[in-house]
Amino acid sequence: MKKSIVIVGGVLILFGIILGAMGAHALKEVLTDKNMASFETGVRYQMYMGLAILALGLNYSKFRKRSFKLFIGFILSGAILFSLSIYGLVWADTVGASLKMVFGPITPLGGVLMIVGWLLFILQFFTHDDET
């Protein structure tokens, strides 16, 4: 088990639950349908990646340390950039701020980082000699 990664996964899940509840109750009356759908996408991916990071952290000993640090770094940074940029876009649109040029490019960057992280996760099994 990698304690720090398990904690990070738990924190992502915790805030995903809080934001999801906030979206379902407090923000439901404030956000447009489009913004609500975007917000829910951010929460959903935050939860998916939080659960995945938690599971990976619990199974840390099964991975090569260098590979683990690499793929977990991409997955975590991608999840944070992806979800936070969506929250930023929704907030900016709701308050009338024109920040699409700031947050807009961050969302696909976060998605690409997550994809690269999961690709690295998969590829390490092709180069891993141990059959455990």
Count helices and strands in the chain by DSSP H and E runs: 5, 0
- Can you give the pLDDT at residue 90? 93
- Can you give the pLDDT at residue 131? 56
- Can you give the pLDDT at residue 101? 80
Is residue 89 in some structural domain?
A: yes
Please give the average pLDDT of every successive group of 10 residues along the chain, which has 132 residues: 93 97 90 94 97 96 92 97 95 83 90 97 80 52
User: How many Å apart are CA 11 and CA 32, to the nearest integer?
Assistant: 28
Neighbours of 85 (CB within 10 A): 22
Instruction: Give yes or no for a contact between 107 and 82, defined as CB atoms under 8 angstroms apart.
Output: yes
- Can you give the pLDDT at residue 42? 96
Is residue 132 in some structural domain?
A: no
- Can you give the pLDDT at residue 29? 87
φ, ψ at 103 (rounded to 5°): -80, -30
Is residue 8 in some structural domain?
A: yes
Cβ within 8 Å of residue 12, ≥6 positions away: 46, 47, 49, 50, 53, 79
User: How many Å apart are CA 81 and CA 75, to the nearest integer?
Assistant: 10
pTM: 0.88
Is residue 68 in some structural domain?
A: yes
Q: Could you give the number of structural domains in the chain?
A: 1
φ, ψ at 32 (rounded to 5°): -70, 165
Is residue 75 in some structural domain?
A: yes
Q: What residue numbers bound the domain in which 115 lies?
A: 3-127
